[in-house]
Amino acid sequence: MRVAVIGAGLIGQAWAMVFASGGKAVRLWDGDASALANAISLIRGQLEELQEQGLVDDADAAAERIVACASLEDALDGVAYVQENLPERVELKREIFATMDGLCAPDTVLASSTSSIPASSFTESLTQRERCLVAHPVNPPYLIPVVELCAAPWTSSEAIATARQLMLDVGQQPVTVHKELQGFVLNRLQGALLREAFRLVEMGAISVEDLDVTVKAGLGLRWAFMGPFETIDLNAPGGVDDYCQRYGEMYRSISEEQTDTSAWKPEVIAEITRQRRGLLPPEDLKQRRLWRDAKLMELARERREQSRSKTPA
């Protein structure tokens, strides 16, 4: 299968790496020629680093599968699937999808990496809108494999099935979001946790550092290999129903204090920033991000080795 990646920013580069590492021929395009050339160089370097970490089998072969295209028409020629990665502005999505709808073959699936805009917002007027959907990754998708597939009301089941199979083929873990939601599922879950984290700091209930410790040394250890429903299923002798009987009233009572929907307050943001900069000076942010990526690579490598060990010979 040949795929096109439209937009060569960080997410576009990451998708090109995912598809090429999974054996797919990739056509990469960006409206900025210098950005496109820079992306090809960055992709090769990232693939080599991933190979050093044991996460890519053959960086050179993967890089050779990625072709930079001078025009959008060339990028879309003969592809079966398109992953669009333009900025989060609905008018840009409408424009690029209208153009792609006119250029692509009728059976080409058109997907957007948008993290919050429903597909219906930019595909409603298209002639072949049934082949359009959202395929929202987590950054970077070559280290964090979940991708949310979300249809518009008119998206065909065939388009979803094609996108899902492609994601499985290249090592992603697709999940299907069955109705359009702002932020889809991952960002809504993350937003709920962040809102409560901000509120607890605002209340003076806990420091920023200890809040992070609570998640990374508590909830996060379980969440690294199982989700919240499996967690509660295992946390009561009789499973989910037993857990809800035991703790449902406690959570209901807590929820009465969690009804505020106002924006994060500037003074709370300032306090969290003050505490974070006390823990990590601004000049150390870049180095800490590199540390984070190294940790993600370590985790991805461990999971890859575990998956291989479970595969029958």
Domains and CATH numbers, the chain: 2-177 (3.40.50.720), 187-279 (1.10.1040.10)
Whole-angstrom distance, CA of residue 82 vs CA of residue 2: 9
pLDDT band at 266 (very low <50, low <70, confident <90, very high): very high
pTM attached to this predicted model: 0.89
Say whether pLDDT at 259 is over 90: no
- Mean pLDDT for 263-289 is 95
Residue-wise pLDDT tens digits, 208-253: 999 999 999 999 999 988 999 999 999 999 999 999 999 999 999 9
- CA 236 to each of CA 150, 230, 309: distance values in angstroms, whole numbers, following the listed order: 33, 11, 31
Q: What is the mean pLDDT of the chain?
A: 94
Whether the link from the prior residue into 282 is cis, omega within 30° of 0, is no
Element (H, E) at 133: strand 132-137
- Burial (0-12, 13-18, 19+ Cβ within 10 Å), 224: exposed
Say whether pLDDT at 282 is over 60: yes
Query: Mind giving me the DSSP string for 11-62?
Result: HHHHHHHHHHHTT-EEEEE-S-HHHHHHHHHHHHHHHHHHHHTTS-S-HHHH
Which residues on adjacent β-strands are paired with residue 134?
112, 150
Element (H, E) at 175: strand 173-177
Predicted pLDDT at 50: 93
Predicted pLDDT at 309: 72
Predicted pLDDT at 307: 73
Percent residues over pLDDT 70 in the chain: 99
Predicted pLDDT at 153: 97
pLDDT band at 312 (very low <50, low <70, confident <90, very high): low
